[in-house]
Chain A
Amino acid sequence: MQTGWSNETLREIFPAIWDGFIVVLQVTLVAGIIAIVVGLLVAIGERNGPAWLRRPLSLVFQFIRNTPLLVQVLIVWTATSLYINPDWSAFAVGSTVLGLHYASYTSESYRAGIDAIPKGQWEAATALNLPSHRVWGAIVLPQMARRSAAAVGNWIIAMFKEVPTLFIIGVMEMIAEARAFQGQHYTGAVEGYTLAGLLFLAASYPVAVAMRRLENRLAKSNF
């Protein structure tokens, strides 16, 4: 049993935790792209998709949004590793589930951005007889992007901090690295978890501040 903080252990565990931090960044990149793209597709699909798709799509993503990421990760990982394809890596499966989970949040931010566009914009687009891809590409999406950017950014930061959940299926992020280190050296809980927390703080705080600035700037600008 460990008795206290040890700088010695800190030096030994740092490389492992740092490796874990890099994995966290990689997962964030992959899952972030999924969350940004799928969230947008869901928001558009729920609004302008074919009628038979709208209701089920909305229900599925409400279900994803209101159930724990941990259990979703476990159920998908069980399904893929036991029944679908055991070769799929925990990294790929974990990142996909995390990305889809946060797509359920970003889609709401996009939806709010679309809903905030004045009705006259839609009417003008109809009056000009623009084709649907022009309505979205030239009128709706550019206006929505400004309104949704900060909110979506905030969800990505929140997602970044939830990456450690994936340790449960063996993605070697910081928690998994700290546990592996403890398994070998019978010490390192204090140093490992403290370091992991501080790295999260150091990485997310500046981005969160930048997001708040962006939010304020967009809120002030007249659009």
Chain B
Amino acid sequence: MDFQAVIESLPRYGEPLLVTVGVTVASAALALVLAFGLGLMTGSRHLAVRTPARVFVEFFRGSSVVVQLFWFAFAMPVVLGIQFDYLIVAGIIALGFNYGAYSSEVVRGAIAAVPKGQLEAATALNLTPLQKLRLVVLPQAWPEMIPSLCAFAIMLLKASALVSVIGVLDITWLAGLLGKQPGQDRLLHYAVVLVIYFVLAWLIWTGMRALERRAKRGLGIEAKVQKGRLAPAVAAGGVD
């Protein structure tokens, strides 16, 4: 195994790494916005609000993210006439929509789990619906969402490797390219990329733990100390 050639080509991973991180962050932001929008809508009492959101969620959860990626990149420009200048946008939309649909269930579940007495008290205090949401419901639901959202963020990071197959130049793509060059070891390049993803996943997990502790401290709850393992906190039904 030729370590020297791999070590010398490590600086070339710099720019693709920015692409991987950029795709992950951008689609996570899109997913988060969608998750809250859809989560509030699917939890609504009104059928007219609930139904379209439900259809959107089931549609994007039910059809595979890989297929969606190809659909947004190669079918949508033809059918809808929407053409992106950069395929990376199609990738971000596909990942954001898919994980937004998944995460909306987390948001809906956490909001539904806020004790009823809290809502009754808010009504008794004559808070408007928006005040109720902003001052009573979300501050209590948010810490409960963080572990599951963290699990989805890590799954999103992993899924971001798929954008390499529609032609976005991320680290997975670079490993494939460099690995084919003479004097390079393809296995070592893929191994390097795996380690990079693992470190990124660990960073997301560590960041989320800190966020959860802070959010819970704000409510006067001590976060449960979890042993140092990167485990999916997705409850049953979170992914289906």
Q: Which residues of B contact A (CB under 8 A)?
A: 58-59, 61-68, 70-71, 74-75, 78-79, 154, 157-162, 164-165, 172, 175-176, 179, 186-187, 190-191, 193-194, 197-198, 201-202, 229-232, 235-240
Contact = CB atoms under 8 A, between A and B. Distances in A.
Q: Which 6 A-B pairs have the closest CB atoms?
A: A68-B161, A197-B63, A151-B236, A75-B190, A164-B66, A161-B64
A212 B240 contact: yes
B78 A189 contact: yes
B67 A196 contact: yes
Interface string A1-25: 0111100000000000000000000
A64 B239 CA distance: 18
A69 B70 CA distance: 17
A195 to B, nearest CB: 9
Interface residues of A, number: 56
A70 interface: yes
B133 to A, nearest CB: 26
Contacts of B232: 65, 105, 108
A3 B78 CA distance: 6
A193 B191 CA distance: 31
Contacts of A79: 187
Given A69-B158, A72-B194, A108 B186 contact: no
Contact of B236 (A63, A67, A154): A154
B158 A67 contact: yes
A71 B172 CA distance: 7
A213 to B, nearest CB: 11
Contact of B176 (A5, A74, A165, A167): A74
Contact of A208 (B61, B67, B160, B230): B61
Contacts of B198: 63, 66-67
A155 interface: yes
